[in-house]
Amino acid sequence: MNLWLDRLFTYRQLAVGLVIILAIVLLGLVGPLFVDVGGAKVGVEIPDLTPSLEHPLGTDTVGRDLLAVIIVGTPQTLTIGLIAGVIGLGIGTVFGFVSGYYGGYADTLLRGAADVFLTVPGLLILVVIASSTKGAVNVQTEALVVSALAWMWPTRTIRSQVLTMRERSYIRVARFSGTSDPRIIVEEMMPNLLPYLAAGFVGSVATAILASIGLEALGLGPQNQPTLGMTIYWGLYYTTVMRGLVWWWLPPIVIIVLIFVGLFSISAGLDKIINPRLRSTT
C-alpha cells in the first residue's frame, strides 16, 4: 500500500488525474443521496427557474432540475466512454497482436483496413450510423456506435509495439524452446505492454467521450436519457445562450472539461511510467 502511495506522489499528474476522475464518479454515486434525481424527468419542476436553494442550478424549459440532470447524466456519459473504450481497445489489441506478431496476409488485411478507416472522417461515419438507428438510441446503443470506429488507432499503435517486441532476444528464446505463439503473446508480450495498454485505454475512453458528445450535440444521442452532450444539445435547441440561461449550458461544459483534464493527466502520468526519458524529468 505504501509503495502505491509513493508512486502516486512521485507521478503527480497521475495522482491529480485519478483524484479528478474519482470526484466525478463520486458525483454520480453520492449525488443521489442528497439530490432527488427524479427531478431529471421532464415536467417534474416549474420550467425556467433561476438558481435557488431549492434548485441550485435552476430548471430548464421542459421542467427538469438541472442539478439532477448533471448528477444523472455524468455517469451516463462516462458509461458510454467506458463501454466504447473497452470494446475499441479490445478489438484493437487483438488486431494489433495478430497483425504485428503473425504478419503476412493478416498484417496486410488488418493494417489496410485500419489505414482506410483512418482516412475517412470518423464523425461523418458516426453520423450516418447514428442517423440510421435514430429512435432506438440509448446509452448502450450509442456506445456501440462510437466503438465501431474506436479500434483503428489501438490497432496501429499496438501493432508497432508488437513488431519491435517480437524481435527481442527473450521472445526468440521462447520461440526456439517450443513455446506456442498464443502462450508467448499472453505470458511474454502482454505483461510488458500492460502500462502501454492502460495508457491506450485512457486515450480510447477520452476519444469515445468526445465522439459521443459530438453526436449528442447534433441531436443524435439518446433523446430520453440525460447525458452531458444531450444537455448541451437541448440548451442549444432552446437558445439558452441568447436567453442568458448560463446555469443551463455552463455546468455540463465544466464537467466535460474536468473529465478531459483528468483523463489527460492520467495519460500523461502513465506516459512517464512507460517512457524512462520522461520518468527522469518527473
Q: Which residue has the higher pLDDT, 220 or 25?
A: 25
Give me the DSSP letters along 53-70: SSSTT-B-TTS-BHHHHH
Judged against a pLDDT cut of 60, whether residue 125 lies above it is answered with yes
Asked if the model's pLDDT at residue 187 lies above 90, the reply is: no
Name which of 198, 202, 175 is nearest 187 in CA terms: 175
Q: Per DSSP, what are the bridge partners of residue 65?
A: 59
Say if residue 216's pLDDT is above 60.
Answer: yes
pLDDT class for 275, splitting at 50, 70, 90? low
- The number of residues making up the chain comes to 282
What is the grid cell recorded at 120?
475517412
Average pLDDT over residues 103-121: 86
Contact between 238 and 50 under an 8 Å Cβ cutoff? The reply is no
- Is residue 15 very low, low, confident or very high in pLDDT (cuts 50, 70, 90)? confident
- Which spans in 218-245 are helix H? 228-237, 240-243
Q: Tell me what pLDDT residue 66 has.
A: 93
The confidence score (pLDDT) of residue 8 equals 55
Which domains can be identified in the chain, with CATH numbers? 75-241 (1.10.3720.10)
Q: Is pLDDT of 282 > 60?
A: no
Distances from the Cα of 221 to the Cα of 61, 225, 230, 239, 282, angstroms: 19, 9, 7, 19, 41
Please write the tens of the pLDDT for every residue from 60-107: 998 999 999 999 999 999 999 999 999 999 999 999 999 988 888 888
Residue 181 has pLDDT above 80, yes or no: yes
Check: CB of residue 219 under 8 Å from CB of residue 192.
no
The predicted-structure confidence for 225-262, as pLDDT tens digits, reads as follows 889 999 999 998 998 888 888 989 999 999 999 999 99
205-217 mean pLDDT: 90
pLDDT for res 1? 47
* Per-residue pLDDT band at 136 (split at 50, 70, 90): low
Amino acid identity, position 126: L
Distance (Å, rounded) from C-alpha 155 to C-alpha 111? 8
